[in-house]
Amino acid sequence: MTNETNITLTLNGEKVSAKAEPRMLASDFIRDVLFMSGTHVGCEHGVCGACTIRFNGKTARSCLLFAAQLDGANVETVESLGTAIDMHRIQKAFRKHHALQCGFCTPGFLMTVSEILETLPLSTDDEIRDALSGNLCRCTGYEHIVRAVRELVDERDGVPA
Amino acid sequence: MNDVSSQRGVDSIPSKISRPKYIGEPVQRLEDPRLLTGAGRFTSDIRLERMVHLAFVRSDQAHAKISEIDFGDALEMPGVLAIYTAGDFTDIPDISAPSRMKNYHATHCPVLARDVVRYVGEPVAVVVATDRYLAEDAATSIVVEYEPLGASSNVDGALAAGAVQLHDDVPGNLVLERVFATGEAPEQIAAASHVVEGRFRLKRKSPLAMENRAYVVDYDRGRDALTLYGSTQIPGVVRDELSRLLGMPGNRIRVVAPDVGGGFGGKGSIYPEEILVVAIARRLARPVKYVSDRLEDLTSTSQGFDEVVKARLAFDDDGTFIALEAEVIGDIGAYSIYPWTAALEPVQVASFLPGPYRTPHYWGRVRAVCTPKPPTGPYRGVGRPMAVFALERLVDKAAAHLGMDRAEIRRRNLVRPEEFPHRIGSGIIWNRSGFMECLEAAVETIDYAGFKKRQEAARKEGRWIGQGIGTYAELTGIGSRIAVAPGMPINTGSETATVRIDATGAVVAMFATASHGQSLETTLAQIVAEELGVRPEDVQIMQGDTAVAVHGTGTYASRSAVIGGGAAIKSTRSLLTKVKRVAGRLFDVDPDRVETGDGEIFVPGTNHRIRFADLARAVYSDMATLPLDARETLESQESFDPYLGTTTSSTHIAEVEIDPETLAIRLTRFVVAEDCGKMINPQVVDGQVHGGVAQGVGVALLEELQYDETGQLLSASLADYLIPTSAEVPHIEVIHLETELPDNPGGFRGMGEGGTIGAPAAIANAVADALAHLDLDITELPITPSKLHRLIVDKRATKDME
């Protein structure tokens, strides 16, 4: 660990600095160096989506980024949303619709949903399913996740419940 | 809650609570706030001072002799503290799953391969380093030399005369053989006027929980005691076996399953790695962490299914089933897994094969064969997905043979409501469950009657659509009379619950279950709250921790709601009796007049009304209010053992559309009608059904661990081993039926696995129906576009030959 570099980033609104080897993955850096363990690691090859973060506003697989790439970036993880006693609207919708079971994939889904609500029309459930298809969940069969997102989309679009 | 229910005795069944408030309600989950905010605590989130990390060197050969392990300069690499091989752990006995079953040969699995490796992925050496990156660096620089020993990676080769034996003490690679026989199936089949048959295959798959297996050991140097945090479904079994293997008493071993990211059976067995982390922590006297990666998960976590069933079904002109005969061959991989043994999966195929139908004659033979692949173990549905797939295909073939409607042939053969209890040919006894009701409800919901017309119209437009039924029954919440796996040496049939009110009036209930997504922190709290008269959010459920239970195995086999829930009811009723007795003294009334509800204890029609906190203060802290003999500890512990099991039934109906050009198979509709008895939380039940169906979609259409003839895994990443995404899983409609409640406290039936049991058969039948005009049989799952293409090409070739 002789060739560590300094990495300075904005993590969930807070400016932080830490050192990491050039080869260190962003997912490991966030979890093991910055101690934000809400970002989960499920495959380390960019398929499962559990490690999804928002990297300068756009969702990204943190297991496919190097820690060094986070230098100067604005990074948001699941911890940026709400707290257990004051949950974010997306978290509340997930709870209401039982859109999580074991909860391991959930942080990645929440980050994806936070982005697609801002960027996609999601006018049909099929569009929601397509938009979520980059995140794998093994527990829910997606049905309740789709319902939670549907409610959030309707709320966003002012569609009466 | 009224005093009548508690006075009727804890075994009075089914429970009749006068004012149910929480059971049957979609109570929002108590585990959600932490899991939604990134505040869950999964094993890989645990970090301890001076913790060291492991990386394994795993075999890249299937069956080979280890001729040399060359550490190279690994020991001198930065951060490396130690490298261990089999010779360093001669004090740890091999993992071996005994059984009282006849014709069974246990295997012996060393914690690190000793002399011989038996599957690609088997741990051969382990590196300990200060950092995971450094441990992996060192592991990759270790070179293992092998001399290949051969051995066939498929069962036909493994069973052939003169085949290379994987284990010296497993003659002919045949780990077990068992026959079930009722009546005279072979004779009846020979004499029958109608017989259909098939050779069905369910390919090997991975449980694939989203969280890979992980273990952390915290070691107490002062006491030579340890806590193993692990992604396990069976902390109690792990504690008991660690105690035996390491020769340490259970009071110095605590096994905790913290938040666990799914299991589906894959975290339901004992693994060499979880024994090694403990042994290494003890040897180095410091905390040890091991987190596997996805490649390790796909190559070393227990795998599912991998069976061939050759079966024949005989029936009369009316479609009445007469006899069923089956040969089941299970490819169990390299070792018979602890504690379930290799019997678990293939024997259950033969046990459940007669299904929910009246078939008087049955003969089934099971053989379990070892091959140089990772061990198979429990996977959601265990045995039943294969059994239901084979049987339901035969039922559809019988209907086609007679030109009979597919729902009608099922109606004629399903066990009728008045015929329960019904013993099937393998010996399983079905108790009353809505077999017929589920079929009718599913058929009605999906417009079964109108489908043929839709199908004909679609075919005219060149579209291929199909509809398929999968009907099944399963045994859940199995008590101590029936072993989850035959002849197994551990008792999985009981649960003990401890419920207590502490000095602040707070309620804590402790169980030996180990929720890993099942929502037990909520559903068990609903039960305790309902029985005690408090709110679910006032109850803390502690489970997944051997420190809170003297014995107990964990969460698997659709048991926790039935057995854990039963224990919760019994213990809470016992506690309520104490609460009423104490309150009776406080109020100076007959305890029978005391009631509880919403966290209050009161006597109706009087001004006696206190909170649980007041009662607790009177009992524990306030030495003036109650005489000494009335200050009894507000804690109760009761066990529940259902002795037998309870039957859950369901019908799944799938609709598919197959693209005639690309042969892509798309699920267009999916209906489930199920009878799981009393629902504790309908939203949780729905979630379990949806998730089970999604895994059934994987079984039917996507998931396949492909091994080549040398035993190398060809689908070793999530880009090659495909699980369903939200784009492949259809909207799932679920209909709940509650026919007659089972004879257990609460009236619950297990339902966590069912989705995966019915869906593969329903989808296979739907695909076959969509292709009926091509006269193709669907006999292997998963069925994929490329396999369909092969079937069509082969069919054309056969026709051309003719």
Which positions of chain A have pLDDT values less than 70? 1-2
Residue B246 DSSP SS3: helix
Which chain B residue has its CA at the smallest distance from A37's CA? B45
Asked if residue B658 and residue B799 are part of one domain, the reply reads: yes
For the record, the structure tokens of A28 come out as 């490991």
Which pLDDT value is given to residue B324? 98
| Cβ–Cβ gap B37/A87 under 8 Å | yes
Q: Which residues from chain B sit within 8 angstroms of residue A64, using beta carbons?
A: none
Which pLDDT value is given to residue B12? 37
Total domains present in chain B: 2
Q: B801 Cβ partners below 8 Å, 6+ apart?
A: none
| Cβ–Cβ gap B690/A142 under 8 Å | yes
pLDDT digits (tens, 9 = 90+) for B144-187: 999 999 989 999 999 999 999 999 999 999 999 999 999 999 99
- Mean pLDDT score, B639-661: 95
A98 touches chain B (CB under 8 A): yes
Q: Which residues from chain A sit within 8 angstroms of residue B726, using beta carbons?
A: 128-130, 132-133, 135, 137, 142, 145-146
Q: Which residues from chain B sit within 8 angstroms of residue A45, using beta carbons?
A: 294, 717-719
For the record, the structure tokens of B273 come out as 């790695």
Which chain B residue has its CA at the smallest distance from A40's CA? B211
Which pLDDT value is given to residue B801? 80
User: CB of B441 within 8 A of CB of B737?
Assistant: yes
**What band does B488 get if pLDDT is binned at 50, 70 and 90?**
confident
All structural domains of chain A with their residue ranges: 5-80, 89-157
Could you tell me if residue B132 is inside a domain? no
Could you tell me if residue B319 is inside a domain? no
Whole-prediction pTM: 0.96
- Mean pLDDT score, B759-765: 98
Q: Which residues from chain A sit within 8 angstroms of residue B304, using beta carbons?
A: none
From the CA of B232, how many Å to the nearest CA of chain A?
13
Q: Which residues from chain B sit within 8 angstroms of residue A144, using beta carbons?
A: 683, 686-687, 690
Which pLDDT value is given to residue B483? 74
Burial class (CB in 10 A: 0-12, 13-18, 19+), B680: buried
Asked if residue B661 and residue B794 are part of one domain, the reply reads: yes
| Cβ–Cβ gap B687/A36 under 8 Å | no
pLDDT digits (tens, 9 = 90+) for B84-100: 999 999 999 999 999 99
| Cβ–Cβ gap B694/A142 under 8 Å | yes
A132 touches chain B (CB under 8 A): yes
Asked if residue B527 and residue B672 are part of one domain, the reply reads: no
Instruction: Measure CB to CB from residue A84 to each of B33, B133, B691 and give the nearest one.
Output: B33
Which pLDDT value is given to residue B666? 98
Residue B333: beta bridge partners? Answer: B370
Asked if residue B570 and residue B688 are part of one domain, the reply reads: no
Which pLDDT value is given to residue B750? 94
| Cβ–Cβ gap B38/A21 under 8 Å | no
From the CA of B280, how many Å to the nearest CA of chain A?
22
Which chain A residue has its CA at the smallest distance from B213's CA? A42
Instruction: Measure CB to CB from residue B210 to each of A35, A77, A104 and give the nearest one.
Output: A104
Could you tell me if residue B325 is inside a domain? no
Q: Domain span at residue B25?
A: 3-40+494-640
Residue B675 DSSP SS3: strand
> Which residue matches tokens 């039924």?
B469
| Cβ–Cβ gap B686/A98 under 8 Å | yes
Computed over every residue of chain B, the mean pLDDT equals 95
pLDDT digits (tens, 9 = 90+) for B387-403: 999 999 999 999 999 99
A108 touches chain B (CB under 8 A): no
Instruction: Measure CB to CB from residue A45 to each of B29, B131, B717 and give the nearest one.
Output: B717
Query: Looking at the domain that runs over A89-157, which CATH code has it been given?
Result: 1.10.150.120
CB-defined contacts A:B, below 8 A: 190
Among the residues of B643-706, which ranges form H helices?
A: 682-697
Q: Which residues from chain A sit within 8 angstroms of residue B211, using beta carbons?
A: 40, 42, 102, 104
Asked if residue B671 and residue B633 are part of one domain, the reply reads: no
For the record, the structure tokens of B349 come out as 């195929």
| Best residue in A35, A111, A139 for a mutation probing chain B (most B CBs within 10 Å) | A139
Which pLDDT value is given to residue B751? 92
| Cβ–Cβ gap B294/A91 under 8 Å | no
User: CB of B334 within 8 A of CB of B300?
Assistant: no
**What band does B20 get if pLDDT is binned at 50, 70 and 90?**
low
Asked if residue B630 and residue B500 are part of one domain, the reply reads: yes
Residues 75-94, chain A: which have Cβ within 8 Å of B?
A: 77-79, 81-85, 87, 91, 94
- Mean pLDDT score, B705-710: 95
> Which residue matches tokens 């070892």?
B370
A145 touches chain B (CB under 8 A): yes
A70 touches chain B (CB under 8 A): no
Which chain A residue has its CA at the smallest distance from B734's CA? A143
Residue B75 DSSP SS3: helix
Could you tell me if residue B724 is inside a domain? yes
Confidence check: pLDDT of B373 > 90: yes
Confidence check: pLDDT of B11 > 80: no
Asked if residue B600 and residue B651 are part of one domain, the reply reads: no
For chain B, give the percent of residues with pLDDT over 70. Answer: 98
Point out the domain boundary residue: B583, B605, B640.
B640
| Cβ–Cβ gap B262/A44 under 8 Å | no
Which pLDDT value is given to residue B749? 94
Point out the domain boundary residue: B615, B640, B665.
B640
Could you tell me if residue B664 is inside a domain? yes
For the record, the structure tokens of B71 come out as 């550490």
Which pLDDT value is given to residue B330? 98
Point out the domain boundary residue: B618, B640, B662.
B640
Asked if residue B630 and residue B695 are part of one domain, the reply reads: no
Asked if residue B467 and residue B502 are part of one domain, the reply reads: no
Q: What is d(CA B167, CA B106) in angstroms, rounded to the nearest whole number?
A: 10
| Cβ–Cβ gap B726/A82 under 8 Å | no
Which pLDDT value is given to residue B487? 78
Which chain B residue has its CA at the smallest distance from A134's CA? B725
Among A102, A147, A103, A142, residue whose Cα is nearest residue B690: A142
Q: Which residues from chain A sit within 8 angstroms of residue B130, using beta carbons?
A: none
What CATH number is attached to the domain comprising B441?
A: 3.30.365.10
- Mean pLDDT score, B344-362: 97
User: Kindly report the CA angle at A77 between A72 and A79, in degrees rounded to 5?
Assistant: 125
Amino acid, single-letter form, for residue A144: H
From the CA of B46, how many Å to the nearest CA of chain A?
9
pLDDT digits (tens, 9 = 90+) for B438-472: 999 999 999 999 999 999 999 999 999 999 999 99
Residues 12-31, chain A: which have Cβ within 8 Å of B?
A: 21, 23-24, 28, 31
CA quadruple A38, A41, A47, A53: dihedral positive or negative? positive
Which chain A residue has its CA at the smallest distance from B30's CA? A95
The DSSP symbol for B27 reads P
Q: What is d(CA B466, CA B266) in angstroms, rounded to the nearest whole number?
A: 33
| Cβ–Cβ gap B732/A143 under 8 Å | yes
From the CA of B292, how many Å to the nearest CA of chain A?
10
Confidence check: pLDDT of B2 > 90: no
Q: Which residues from chain B sit within 8 angstroms of residue A124, using beta carbons?
A: none
**What band does B36 get if pLDDT is binned at 50, 70 and 90?**
very high
Asked if residue B636 and residue B652 are part of one domain, the reply reads: no
Asked if residue B672 and residue B732 are part of one domain, the reply reads: yes
Q: What is d(CA B554, CA B50) in angstroms, rounded to the nearest whole number?
A: 31
Look up the ipTM and state it.
0.98
| Cβ–Cβ gap B133/A24 under 8 Å | yes
From the CA of A100, how many Å to the nearest CA of chain B?
8
Query: Looking at the domain that runs over A5-80, which CATH code has it been given?
Result: 3.10.20.30
Instruction: Measure CB to CB from residue A133 to each of B262, B690, B727 and give the nearest one.
Output: B727
> Which residue matches tokens 């980024």?
A65
Asked if residue B697 and residue B758 are part of one domain, the reply reads: yes
Could you tell me if residue B285 is inside a domain? no
| Cβ–Cβ gap A103/B36 under 8 Å | yes
Confidence check: pLDDT of B741 > 50: yes
Confidence check: pLDDT of B103 > 60: yes
| Cβ–Cβ gap B294/A125 under 8 Å | no
A68 touches chain B (CB under 8 A): no
Confidence check: pLDDT of B480 > 90: no
User: CB of A122 within 8 A of CB of A145?
Assistant: no
Which pLDDT value is given to residue B5? 33
| Best residue in B25, B31, B34, B35 for a mutation probing chain A (most A CBs within 10 Å) | B35
| Cβ–Cβ gap B686/A143 under 8 Å | yes
Which pLDDT value is given to residue A2? 62
Q: Which residues from chain A sit within 8 angstroms of residue B40, using beta carbons?
A: 38, 103
Confidence check: pLDDT of B538 > 50: yes
| Cβ–Cβ gap B37/A21 under 8 Å | no
pLDDT digits (tens, 9 = 90+) for B616-634: 999 999 988 999 999 999 9
The DSSP symbol for B612 reads H
User: CB of B303 within 8 A of CB of B264?
Assistant: no
**What band does B19 get if pLDDT is binned at 50, 70 and 90?**
low
